[in-house]
Amino acid sequence: MSSFNAKLYQSAQLRQEMRINPRLYQAMELLYMPLLDLEMHLKEQLAENPFLEMQEADDQKEVELKEDTIDEPMGDDEVDWEEILLDGFDVGGRREQYEHRDFFEPTPVEAQDLHDHLHGQLTLLSISERELRLGEELIGNIDDDGMLACTPEECVAGLNEWLDEVRPSLIQKAGEITDEAERSEELAEIELTLRPYEPVEAERMLKVIHRFDPPGVGARDVRESILIQLRQREEEESLAYRIVDEHFDALINRHLTDIAKAVGVKPIEVQDAADSISHLDPKPGLKYSTAPEEYVIPDLIVELIDGEYMVFANDTSLPRLRISQSYRDVAKDKRAFTGENKEFIASKLNSANWMIQAIEQRRQTMLKVMHFIVDRQREFFERGVQYLKPLTLREVADHIEMHESTVSRVTNKKFVQTPRGVYSLKYFFSSGLSTTSGEDISARGVRDKIKVMVSDENPKKPLTDQAIVTLLQSDGVKIARRTVAKYRDQLGILPARMRKRV
């Protein structure tokens, strides 16, 4: 049997390898950043780089950047913007070593959530510590929709387990009391306070929580939540209460005629009761959702001036950067610095020049993209969403002669203010459907057509999916019934039988 002989050896190998420039990642980040993030990033750069300073609004002096660059070999630091934008930053290399980012997501302000709101109401009640503990346990099991996520029996079982855990330590602590009478009294109080909870106690406390704000909170399902809301409105004797209590499944399925026969009233009365029920909140807890509000500042502005749509960059809040005159004069004296000092000055000055060029390149790229969108979607700006044309990133990239991934970064998380409102740049990109005239219409435009058709339909004879297909085909839109059903679901529109009114 032969043995394996492992040896160490050296060899020379010639190969081509592409390495990423750290500044290319920074350029990608600059294109990707929304306006607020970019503003924060530039302020950080002003604080870190002494060669950068803010340019005053009344200072019209032009700064020649090329003259300020120290005559040092840049090597990998040189940036060919045309090549970068055409290649879409696809230059190879690994990201890990350049993962650090110089900007941060805004921190949302903490707001009162549903549990805080309910707990605040609980503490205002004149109840015992035992009842308070049970109320806290029930509130802790209410989900974000405002529904009780477990049964009262499960809440009691969990609370009794906790009592079993704390009872020995409390009894031991009471046993350390030297006075026998005081110790006996303390033990009796512990046993009274920590006696096991019963499901009937949980049911009683749950009824108290049902009276809390928002109305309907603490219910075990939507049906009970609506009944609670009707009781708070003192409508226990109403037809709406009876329908929800006795015929809830039929109400959900819109079998209004069947309900009318079972209750012994006219269908129109059932319809009126169903309308009043529809104004109640099936998920009362969502109004206290902790999701932070997002404020949008448009990166671009489109205005109609003398019949033409003009595009402007909304960058007035951004710091205007320039090379500091004092530091520029210091850098010109090349003989005064050697070694690390010279390298530091060269690095910071070249970085400052690069940052100014990168910000301007970002601005010009965004304007190019938006100019093409305005030219392509002119009918949308003049006539509305139904005239939005299909558009892809590839079309924009080919027209402005840049890489598709560059266009994707430019349009991501960017917004534009137009005469029709504020839109995400991604809003203008969608797939298309063919028409009999040979032109294409965007999927978003078709969805808007469906929305208008449903809003204008006869509520007693609502449009079926096939009827919508027929109407769209009469307008020249080629579309399948399953596509109509998909778009209707995306719009949150119920099927025809669910929209029918008596």
- Residue 101: predicted pLDDT: 46
3-state secondary structure 347-360: HHHHHHHHHHHHHH
What SS3 string covers 392-449? CHHHHHHHHCCCHHHHHHHHCCCEEEECCEEEEHHHHCECEEEECCCCEEEHHHHHHH
Instruction: Compute the average pLDDT of residues 445-461.
Output: 86
| pLDDT interval class at 70 (50, 70, 90) | very low
Residue 67, pLDDT > 70, answer no
Contact predicate 401/86, CB 8 Å = yes
Min mean pLDDT across 52-61, 209-218, 258-267 is at: 52-61
How high is the pLDDT of residue 332? 67
Whole-prediction pTM = 0.59
CA 150 – CA 312 distance, rounded (Å):
55
Average pLDDT, integer, range 95-121 = 63
**351 close to 46: Cβ distance less than 8 angstroms:** no
How confident is the model over 156-163, as a mean pLDDT? 85
> In whole angstroms, what is the distance from residue 9 CA to residue 13 CA?
13
In the chain, % of residues over pLDDT 90: 17
Nearest-angstrom CA–CA distance, 79 and 193: 74
pLDDT at residue number 91: 45
In the chain, which residues fall in CATH 1.10.10.60?
A: 431-502
431-502: CATH topology is Arc Repressor Mutant, subunit A (1.10.10)
Min mean pLDDT across 104-118, 146-160, 194-208, 285-299 is at: 104-118
Structure tokens at 202: 């949980």
Chain centre distance of CA 240: 37
Tell me the per-residue pLDDT of 364-399, one tens digit each, with 9 for 90 and over.
Answer: 888 999 999 999 888 888 888 878 888 888 888 888
